[in-house]
Amino acid sequence: MLALHKLLLKEQYPNCTGMAAELEVSGKTVQRDIDFMRDQLALPIAYHPIRHGFYYTEHVRQFPTVQVSDGELVALLIAQKAVEQYRGTAFEKPLHSAFTKLADGLQGSSGIAIHELAEAISFRPQGLAEAELTTFQALASATLKHHEITFGYHPLHRTTPESRRAHPYHLGCLANQWYLIAHDLDRAAMRTFALTRITTAKETGSTFEKPTDFSVAEMFAGSFSAFQSGAVSTVILALDPFAARLTAERRWHPSQQQTIHPDGSATLTLEVTIAPDLENWILGWGHHAQVIQPTALRKKIASIIASMQAIYSEIDRKI
């Protein structure tokens, strides 16, 4: 049918006999496809008695390979808008190209077009990571094919990159940043690597078998975001009415439980590992939230706040 569509667009008037010989199928098969294109896909096909072939009676922009409902079209639009978070990055061009090819093959049930809905929905991402497309493609290929890789990695606590050799298990986007979950062969342990700090990723030529019991969901079950740090702890926060209302509007973690009090304040409980991403999230609420337990986390947050106060006091003194 795609071959017929291309010939119809070029106004070459294909017929059943010629197409049957070219595609090595029967004439009846070609006729059934033409009937399907006309009757099921609503393409304006007619037979020209003088040119002895079929043609489009009006302009056709694309071949409608898939029929979708308006709800599915809106869902696709949301996906396309989510992709826009990569505008201005190395991912923009291939993502735009892929989505355009996909959208061109769709036909809404009521004729609603993607561009007609585009103004209704938007995304405004923040803090996007600038991952290299070549690095992402190399890692994605190695992950899919179960190929061992080597790469340079620049940890936050080091001033120079380290050489790593690993079995890539999974690529995940957490909080607008891509991470590689891999088995670090030199350290004999699972590690999570930020793609923005990976360079010169190459396949070694060796393959591996990913463990059947590997589960990304289980691996990050206790993590607040991308960091993994020790055992899961019960974290309890006291929220004032302002923070209580905002936290209740979003699902921050699967373990989240929130109890609203008569005055509008709340107690928020999380079962998570204590890591920098959790600490930064708590600090982001400012005076609207305070840690009740565990005690070690409460002291850590208080220490950070005291350090910040000392920094600003010193700046004020100099000013």
The domain in which residue 101 lies consists of: 66-117
- pLDDT (tens digit, 9 = 90+) per residue, 73-118? 667 666 766 666 676 666 777 777 777 766 665 555 445 555 555 5
Q: How many domains, the chain?
A: 4
pLDDT tens digits, 168-226: 999 988 777 889 999 999 999 999 999 989 999 999 999 999 999 988 888 887 888 77
Q: What angle do CA 53, 59, 63 make, to 5 degrees?
A: 80
274 and 243 in a common domain: yes
CATH code, domain with 159: 2.30.30
The share of the chain scoring above pLDDT 70, in percent, equals 82
Domain membership of residue 223 (yes or no) is no
Same domain, 260 and 308: yes
User: Does 127 map to a domain?
Assistant: no
Question: Per the domain annotation, does 305 fall within a domain?
Answer: yes
Domain boundary among 154, 180, 215: 215
In terms of average pLDDT, the best of 42-56, 111-125, 161-175, 286-300 is 286-300
Say if 162 falls within a structural domain. yes
Between the ranges 21-25, 46-50, 175-179, where is the mean pLDDT highest? 46-50
The answer to whether the beta carbons of residues 273 and 224 sit under 8 Å apart is yes
Q: Is residue 222 part of a domain?
A: no
Same-domain pairing of 110 and 148: no
| Judgement on whether residues 266 and 206 belong to the same structural domain of the protein | no
Read off the pLDDT band of 157 (50, 70, 90): confident
Asked if residue 163 has pLDDT above 80, the reply is yes
Q: 48 and 71 in one domain?
A: no
* 276 within domain boundaries: yes
Percent of the chain at pLDDT exceeding 90: 50
Residues 203 and 273 in one domain: no
Q: Assess whether 252 and 302 both reside in one domain.
A: yes
Residue 221 lies in a domain: no
Same domain, 140 and 211: yes
pLDDT on residue 12: 92
Asked if the structure places residue 101 within a domain, the reply is: yes
Long-range (24+ apart) CB contacts under 8 A made by 228-233 are 228/192, 228/273, 228/275, 229/273, 229/274, 229/275, 230/273, 230/274, 231/273, 232/271, 232/272, 232/273, 233/271, 233/272, 233/273, 233/274, 233/294, 233/297
Tell me the C-alpha distance between 191 and 225, whole Å.
Answer: 14
pLDDT of residue 131: 61
Q: Is the pTM of this model over 0.85?
A: no
- Does 193 lie in the same domain as 150? yes
Residues 153 and 177 in one domain: yes
Q: Dump pLDDT digits (tens) for 269-284.
A: 999 999 888 999 999 9
